[in-house]
Amino acid sequence: MLNFTNDFVTTPFTTRGTHALTTCLAALLLSSFAATSAIADTFTDPAWGADGPAGRCVVCHSLEKNGPFRVAPNLWNIVGAEKARERSWYAYSPGLIEMGGNWTRDDLDQYLKDAAAFAPGSTKSIRVSNPDERREIIDFLAQLKD
């Protein structure tokens, strides 16, 4: 058994000290729970488009115009948009930046099929092997425009 007076401190571990420690831990746990709840609420609401063809995209991307930040750029108005268009805040792969140009349907198809082959160094992890599914995703994304 630990002896608080000999092992950890030179002064006795008092009831007042125990109460202060308990109060501190309780406050920390409550604030941690509140923060976790706020974060969980942000991610438990179904993302717009999650039930559509681009449902797997919303894990990382927002589909709404001026949609919320996720971990990757917003896909609103992506078909025909400049590649690597959000460089001020997102770290695109050098391969995609050097490629330049605008996103065509064919480019998006190749990117969804195998991003690393299309743009070397890409960190995109989802591959869509089914060409019909890629076409449905691209058709859906093409509708997301002003």
Asked if residue 118 and residue 69 are part of one domain, the reply reads: yes
Asked if residue 64 and residue 25 are part of one domain, the reply reads: no
50 lies in a domain? Answer: no
Ramachandran area for residue 11 (φ above 0: left; ψ -120 to 50: alpha; else beta): beta
97 lies in a domain? Answer: yes
Task: Render pLDDT for 42-59 as a digit per residue (tens, 0 to 9).
Answer: 444 556 667 778 888 888
49 lies in a domain? Answer: no
52 lies in a domain? Answer: no
Cβ contact 9:21 at 8 Å = no
51 lies in a domain? Answer: no
Asked if residue 97 and residue 124 are part of one domain, the reply reads: yes
What CATH number does residue 90 fall under?
A: 1.10.760.10
Asked if residue 75 and residue 40 are part of one domain, the reply reads: no
How high is the pLDDT of residue 46?
A: 59
Cβ contact 134:128 at 8 Å = yes
Number of structural domains (the chain) is 2
Instruction: Quote the domain boundaries for residue 19.
Output: 4-44
In this predicted model, which residue has the larger pLDDT, 126 or 114?
Answer: 114
Confidence of residue 14 (pLDDT cuts 50, 70, 90): very low
Asked if residue 65 and residue 33 are part of one domain, the reply reads: no
How high is the pLDDT of residue 51?
A: 75
How high is the pLDDT of residue 104?
A: 98
Asked if residue 129 and residue 68 are part of one domain, the reply reads: yes
User: What backbone phi and psi angles, to 5 degrees, belong to 82?
Assistant: -65, 135
In DSSP notation, 42-65 reads HHHSPPTTTTSTTTTGGGT---ST
Confidence of residue 126 (pLDDT cuts 50, 70, 90): confident
Task: Render pLDDT for 88-112 as a digit per residue (tens, 0 to 9).
Answer: 888 999 999 999 999 999 999 999 9
63 lies in a domain? Answer: yes
Which pair of tokens denotes residue 106?
Answer: 């064919």
Q: With a cut of 60, say whether residue 78 has pLDDT above it.
A: yes
Q: With a cut of 70, say whether residue 5 has pLDDT above it.
A: no
Q: What percent of the chain has pLDDT over 70?
A: 66
Cβ contact 100:87 at 8 Å = no
The contacts of residue 141 (CB under 8 Å, 6+ apart) are 54, 63, 75, 78, 79, 108
10 lies in a domain? Answer: yes
Cβ contact 62:70 at 8 Å = yes
